[in-house]
Structure 1
Amino acid sequence: MYNVLVIGAGAMGLLYAAQLSSSEKINVCFGASGERYKRLKDHIFIFNEKKYDFKVIDIENYSDKPFDLVIVAVKFFQLDESIRNLYKLIGENTVFVSLLNGLDSEDIIANMYGEERVVYSMTVGMDSVRNADGSVTCENFGKLVFGAKKANQIKNVKLVKSIFDTAKVAYEIPENIMKSIWWKFMVNVGINQASAVLGLNYGGFQKSEAARAPMLGLMKEVILISQYENINLNEDEDLNVKWFKVLHSLSPTAKTSMLQDIEAKRKTEVEIFAGKVIKLANKHGIDTPYNKIFFEIIKGIESSYL
């Protein structure tokens, strides 16, 4: 029996909790603390119109056996607070999987709990949407892409693979996980930020060359920086082929997470997208005009409601 803890009950957390709970050999629960625990402990989770009665544990008062896998599925700016008090829940062989966007979440978790507990990962191809009533709908489940950055993480890859095989959840283990993570970073910098400013769902970008233009401008700046970071994304393969194949597989009515955040008047993750691009560009003496202007626009939109 595998014990899996999910931190974060949004669209991504519920997507994976629902899939993993399909196996009787996997026990899935959510973890929270303080006021969030009080709100979630009697909550009925709804995924694709099906109700799930997931157990919610109080992280601060947990005293049962440690979890095999901890899936972190919060927003980046919530990461530190969300994982700060997990010591009671983890054991010698507990593994962390981060579903967070950006380039830094695994390193933050590793610094707190040890690099030997982490796998590096990213998600791709899902179009899960959190609705106004808190339910989640998803047409394409996508897959988790994960791997080891260092030799002491190979055992973690084997554990996650075993758990996902048990529940028949889609995944991929690439040869170069860091290039995969950078590819997803490129995608998020482009589609998330362009959609947030233009107010378009995936269908808007599937149909309109004019809409795709700023998206591509944002992405090409990431490709440029990747050359300086020894990641070496390729415009023809990684953008024109791989990304467009994924884009046209997504539900045209679905929306990016950043557009959902703006529509719900929530804080966005622009700091880990355009903000990170600008920081890396400054490091290497590169100009990234698309990301500079999108950073200012999105911060301006946020300031109108935050």
Structure 2
Amino acid sequence: MKICILGAGSLGSAIGGTLAEAGMEVILVNHRQDYVDTINSKGLIITDGTTERLVKAQARRKCEGIGPVDLLIILVKSFHTKQAIENAKGLIGDKTIVMSLQNGLGNEETIAEVIGKERILAGKTYVGGVLLGPGRVLAGTQNKYTYIGELDGSITDRVTQVAKLFSKAGLLTVVSHNIMGILWDKLLINTATGALSGITRLTYGNLYKVSEIKECAFEAIAEGIAVAKANGIVLATENPEEIWLKAAEGLPADFKTSTLQSLEKMSVTEIDYINGAIVRYGKKCNIPTPVNQSLVASIKGIEYQLKNVEGLVD
């Protein structure tokens, strides 16, 4: 299967590298020239924090010249989704499956506006990744599940095929008939640790040692659960502690959330699509979300500082 990872950053490198290691043809699209040059000349080093493996894959800065692929996995930042899928039209053939594994809510709708919803699979993954350098990624894949599904909840041959391929490669993958519930489940996972890690600059090993952080996370998760229920979403659990613990399950102590990674790179975060999504959906159904509003405000303040004083980039 010919697979393209559009937005091969930390997570994209972890997933793409794992698929390439299993023998699939994988093209990693990343705008950084040093990343592309390193992958093409030396390969990608995948580490779990203890051992390292060298994997051969292809890398490109742009989509031009790649041609139609069997599976296009979207992993760009949510605020770049529309432009990215517009630029990727040349990758989409008659039988191409387009699957979003992005953070937050609303990406599938944005993609559908450009290519139609009939091509789209939705998914959420609990795999983690941290880029340690242009050709080296810390991948948290062990016992981390990926859930994928058709937008209408049906179980089709194509979604089953993708799940089997992922699982064969070592990415444990389950087909879900409740993908919207899965999207919300992952949103709550990101709500648990993303903003708090970004604000405190703590990795998981230290984040989970501070009781006040845990209490704040529980409140943010509880708000998200209330909003989800008000919108008719069926969740896997309504227990904040279970969600808090699941967020770090199987990940190394030095793992950093995507929010923290973005801030350390002086990049815009996806806070508007995570905690900010809970705030927006809460307003629609008159559910108060003061903790999530405060977390959004705090991250926005950090972004403002970086942009106006230190030169934050998109």
TM-score for the superposition, normalised by structure 1: 0.87
Q: How far has the Cα of 1:72 moved from its partner?
A: 1.2
Q: What one-letter code is carried by the residue in structure 2 that aligns with 1:301?
A: I
Greater mean alpha carbon deviation, residues 177-186 or residues 164-173: 164-173
Q: How far has the Cα of 1:82 moved from its partner?
A: 1.6
Give structure 1 stretches of 5+ with no counterpart.
Answer: none
Aligned with 2:103: secondary structure? coil
Match of 2:220 in 1: 218
- Distance (whole Å) between structure 1 residues aligned to residue 242 and residue 275 of structure 2: 23
CA contact (8 A) 2:71 2:96 kept: yes
Give the one of 106, 117, 120 matched to 1:118: 120
Q: How far has the Cα of 1:302 moved from its partner?
A: 0.7
Q: How far has the Cα of 1:7 moved from its partner?
A: 0.8
Match of 1:260 in 2: 261
Q: Using a 3 Å threshold, how does the CA distance of structure 1 residues 196 and 176 change in structure 2: closer, same or farther?
A: same
Q: Using a 3 Å threshold, how does the CA distance of structure 1 residues 160 and 184 change in structure 2: closer, same or farther?
A: same
* Residue 53 of structure 2 corresponds to residue 54 of structure 1: no
- Distance (whole Å) between structure 2 residues aligned to residue 121 and residue 98 of structure 1: 6
CA contact (8 A) 1:119 1:153 kept: no
Q: Using a 3 Å threshold, how does the CA distance of structure 1 residues 133 and 149 change in structure 2: closer, same or farther?
A: closer
Q: What one-letter code is carried by the residue in structure 2 that aligns with 1:211?
A: I
Q: Using a 3 Å threshold, how does the CA distance of structure 1 residues 201 and 3 change in structure 2: closer, same or farther?
A: same
Aligned with 1:138: secondary structure? strand
- Distance (whole Å) between structure 2 residues aligned to residue 299 and residue 91 of structure 1: 39
CA contact (8 A) 2:195 2:295 kept: yes
Match of 2:147 in 1: 145
Q: Using a 3 Å threshold, how does the CA distance of structure 1 residues 136 and 40 change in structure 2: closer, same or farther?
A: closer
Q: What one-letter code is carried by the residue in structure 1 that aligns with 2:160?
A: K
Match of 2:296 in 1: 295
CA contact (8 A) 2:21 2:56 kept: no
Q: Deviations over 1:188-226 (max 9, x none)?
A: 122101111122221234333222011111111110101
Give the one of 15, 24, 27 matched to 2:25: 27
Q: How far has the Cα of 1:269 moved from its partner?
A: 0.8
Match of 1:42 in 2: 37
* Residue 23 of structure 2 corresponds to residue 10 of structure 1: no
- Distance (whole Å) between structure 2 residues aligned to residue 121 and residue 161 of structure 1: 11
Match of 2:179 in 1: 177
Greater mean alpha carbon deviation, residues 239-248 or residues 194-203: 239-248
Q: Using a 3 Å threshold, how does the CA distance of structure 1 residues 163 and 127 change in structure 2: closer, same or farther?
A: closer
Give structure 2 stretches of 5+ with no counterpart.
Answer: 308-314
Match runs of 1:127-166 below 5 Å: 127-131=128-132, 135-141=136-142, 142-150=144-152, 154-166=156-168
Match of 1:92 in 2: 94
CA contact (8 A) 1:6 1:13 kept: yes
Q: How far has the Cα of 1:17 moved from its partner?
A: 1.1
TM-score for the superposition, normalised by structure 2: 0.85
Q: Using a 3 Å threshold, how does the CA distance of structure 1 residues 63 and 207 change in structure 2: closer, same or farther?
A: closer
Q: Using a 3 Å threshold, how does the CA distance of structure 1 residues 116 and 293 change in structure 2: closer, same or farther?
A: same
Q: How far has the Cα of 1:85 moved from its partner?
A: 2.3
Q: How far has the Cα of 1:113 moved from its partner?
A: 1.3
> Please, what is the CA RMSD of the aligned residues?
2.4
Q: Using a 3 Å threshold, how does the CA distance of structure 1 residues 303 and 37 change in structure 2: closer, same or farther?
A: closer
Match of 1:281 in 2: 282
